[in-house]
């Protein structure tokens, strides 16, 4: 059993959270993905962590919560509460550039910047932006399926290097 | 129509309003989940299951909020598993059996288009929690709309067989679309307090999007003024809802204290 710590700083908690990886995309931490929203330490030294799901029905939320709990306990922090916030509007724009690079190296085409133009209805008639292949950078790729192995990904195929790949949907 | 509901309080109206939103999403999510393992192609199997997951996620947050507003210490799961069919307030449109793939996509398109306009307005209500949820859900709804609209075009302007099937689906389902725009005291009371949106604000936009899409898909647009089914917001349903609930609720009712832990 790790010794129980009673004093810690916010930075210590953030450092621990940076070691909690997303269960579906193990190269990114829950901080990279913008899932961990904020950390507060109460006067009674209780740690409060607020997390938000990427998608409303993301089934990994329970696993993420468990992983955070384990990480804190293993580091001697027993007095904490994890609050799930379903009302925050998560966006792929919260993923920093370095994390997008890690996604690419892992073989998942990272999301581009979200489209700020509000004219969604007329965009229904146009085909989406091309997604470059994470392996050979070719733009000669084709969408296979708008939905993928997890809520946050779509399936693509590269017609230059003949590799299928996943794209982290841009929302 | 004058009913006992004349004396509804704001709290009761808010609970009822959230329940209607949540029930639509839970029941459609359940119908979509029935496709899991039965999709016409693998990609579509995954797409339908993904959309089902989104809807169940939307419903879960709405039920949680509804239970909080109700203030009777009920858990969101109580609302899902321990209410009977007459207490469900979802549209008949979403409870109809999934039919063939054309039927599923015709319904998906009509409902997604409705949800797109509805949620666009819900983002603006003076209820921070509902508005916040709406913004998150709206992104996912847009994705559903894009996907289902493409399928309407593909099936309508596809083969003779696909055209016939999706045209039949629209003809059959049309009578269930009128209810989407039904409003009563619940809506009116909340609209006055800016806690709900007036569905008439976007009825014409919805009709225009549906019409232009069906025309592009070389389909005939059924008559918007035809006879429309009604009553579901008051708990009147088709016989299909009871069967769906029996399957969805039976395990939880057999073992009411069962827990995942």
ipTM: 0.82
Mean pLDDT lowest for which of A121-125, B3-7, B13-17, B207-211? B3-7
Calpha distance B64→A87 (Å, rounded): 12
pLDDT digits (tens, 9 = 90+) for B102-112: 999 999 999 99
Phi then psi dihedrals of residue B11, to 5 deg? -60, -45
Q: CB-based contact (8 Å) between A86 and chain B? A: yes
Full strand arrangement of the beta sheet holding A47-51 = A36-41, A47-51, A80-84
Burial of A130 (0-12, 13-18, 19+ CB in 10 A): middle
- Residues A90, A54 contacting (CB under 8 angstroms): yes
- B39 contacts on A by Cβ (under 8 Å): none
Mean pLDDT lowest for which of A147-156, B143-152, B194-203? A147-156
For residue B236, the model assigns a pLDDT of 97
**Residue in A closest to B47 by C-alpha:** A147
Q: Is residue B25 part of a domain?
A: yes
Q: Do A86 and B133 touch (CB under 8 A)?
A: yes
Helix (H, G, I), strand (E, B) or coil at A157: strand
Residue ranges of domains in chain A, CATH in brackets: 10-84 (3.30.300.130), 94-168 (no CATH)
- Residues A168, A149 contacting (CB under 8 angstroms): no
pLDDT score of B261 more than 70:
no
What Å distances lie between residue B32 and B44, B50, B66, B138, B166, CA to CA?
Answer: 11, 9, 23, 19, 17
pLDDT score of B188 more than 90:
yes
Candidate from B61, B139, B147 with C-beta closest to A171: B139
Q: Provide, rounded to the nearest whole percent, the portion of chain B with pLDDT above 70.
A: 97
Mean pLDDT over each residue of chain B, to the nearest integer: 94
- What is the dihedral angle through the alpha carbons of B36, B39, B43, B48, rounded to the nearest 10 degrees? -50
Q: Which domain holds residue B34?
A: 10-254
**Residue in A closest to B150 by C-alpha:** A124
For residue B2, the model assigns a pLDDT of 43
pLDDT score of B1 more than 60:
no
Q: Do A56 and B43 touch (CB under 8 A)?
A: no
**10 Å Cβ neighbour count for B88?**
24
Place of tokens 């790790």: A2
Total structural domains within chain B: 1
Average pLDDT over residues B74-88: 95
What residues does A153 pair with on adjacent strands?
A: A168
Q: Is residue B260 part of a domain?
A: no
Place of tokens 């932006």: A129
Q: Is residue B173 part of a domain?
A: yes
- Residues B26, B76 contacting (CB under 8 angstroms): no
- Residues B19, B78 contacting (CB under 8 angstroms): no
For residue A116, the model assigns a pLDDT of 67
Confidence band, pLDDT 50/70/90 cuts, at residue B260: low
For residue A129, the model assigns a pLDDT of 79
Q: Do A146 and B145 touch (CB under 8 A)?
A: no
Q: Is residue B1 part of a domain?
A: no
Tokens of A110: 């990272």
For residue A130, the model assigns a pLDDT of 86
For residue A1, the model assigns a pLDDT of 57
Phi then psi dihedrals of residue B253, to 5 deg? -75, -30
pLDDT score of A126 more than 90:
no
For residue A118, the model assigns a pLDDT of 65
CATH number, domain containing residue B163:
1.20.1260.10
Q: Which of B130, B111, B92 is nearest to B238 (CA)?
A: B92
pLDDT score of B40 more than 50:
yes
Q: Is residue B250 part of a domain?
A: yes
Q: CB-based contact (8 Å) between B248 and chain A? A: no
Tokens of B102: 């054309």
Confidence band, pLDDT 50/70/90 cuts, at residue A127: confident
What Å distances lie between residue B214 and B33, B58, B60, B148, CA to CA?
Answer: 26, 28, 32, 12
Interface mutation vs chain B, best among A124, A149, A168, most B CBs within 10 Å: A124
Q: Do A86 and B137 touch (CB under 8 A)?
A: no
pLDDT score of B6 more than 70:
no
Q: Provide, rounded to the nearest whole percent, the portion of chain A with pLDDT above 90.
A: 63
């Amino acid at each position: 059993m790790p010794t129980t710590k009673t004093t810690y700083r916010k930075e210590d908690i953030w450092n621990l959270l940076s070691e909690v990886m997303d269960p579906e995309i193990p190269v990114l931490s829950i901080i990279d993905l913008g899932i961990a929203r904020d950390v507060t330490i109460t006067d009674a030294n209780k740690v409060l962590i607020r997390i938000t799901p990427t998608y409303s029905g993301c089934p990994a939320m329970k696993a993420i919560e468990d992983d955070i709990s384990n990480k804190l306990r293993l580091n001697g922090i027993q007095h904490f509460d994890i609050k799930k916030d379903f009302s925050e509007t998560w966006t792929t724009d919260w993923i920093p550039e370095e994390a997008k690079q890690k996604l690419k190296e892992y073989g998942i085409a990272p999301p581009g910047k979200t489209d700020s133009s509000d004219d969604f209805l007329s965009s229904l008639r146009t085909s989406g932006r091309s997604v470059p292949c994470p392996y050979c950078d070719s733009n000669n790729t084709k969408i296979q399926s708008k939905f993928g192995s997890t809520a946050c990904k779509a399936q693509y195929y590269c017609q230059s290097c003949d590799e299928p790949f996943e794209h982290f949907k841009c929302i | 129509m004058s009913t006992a509901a004349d004396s509804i309080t704001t709290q009761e109206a808010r609970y009822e309003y959230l329940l209607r939103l949540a029930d639509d999403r839970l029941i459609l999510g359940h119908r979509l989940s029935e496709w899991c393992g039965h999709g016409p192609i693998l990609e579509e199997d995954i797409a339908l299951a993904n959309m089902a997951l989104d809807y169940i996620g939307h419903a879960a947050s709405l039920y949680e909020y509804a239970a909080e507003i109700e203030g009777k210490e009920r858990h969101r799961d109580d609302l899902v598993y321990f209410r009977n069919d007459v207490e469900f307030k979802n549209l008949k449109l979403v409870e109809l059996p999934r039919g063939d793939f054309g039927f599923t996509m015709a319904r998906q398109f009509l409902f997604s288009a409705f949800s797109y306009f509805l949620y666009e307005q819900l983002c603006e209500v003076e209820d921070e929690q509902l508005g916040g949820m709406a913004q998150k859900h709206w992104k996912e709804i847009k994705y559903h709309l894009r996907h289902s609209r493409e399928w309407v075009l593909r099936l309508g302007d596809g083969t003779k067989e696909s055209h016939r099937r999706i045209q039949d689906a629209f003809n059959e389902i049309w009578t269930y679309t009128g209810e989407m725009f039904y409003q009563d005291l619940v809506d009116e009371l909340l609209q006055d307090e800016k806690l709900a949106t007036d569905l008439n604000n976007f009825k014409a936009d919805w009709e225009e999007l549906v019409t232009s899409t069906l025309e592009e898909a070389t389909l005939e647009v059924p008559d918007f003024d035809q006879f429309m089914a009604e009553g579901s917001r008051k708990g009147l349903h088709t016989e299909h809802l009871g069967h769906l609930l029996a399957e969805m609720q039976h395990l939880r009712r057999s073992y009411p204290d069962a827990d995942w832990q």
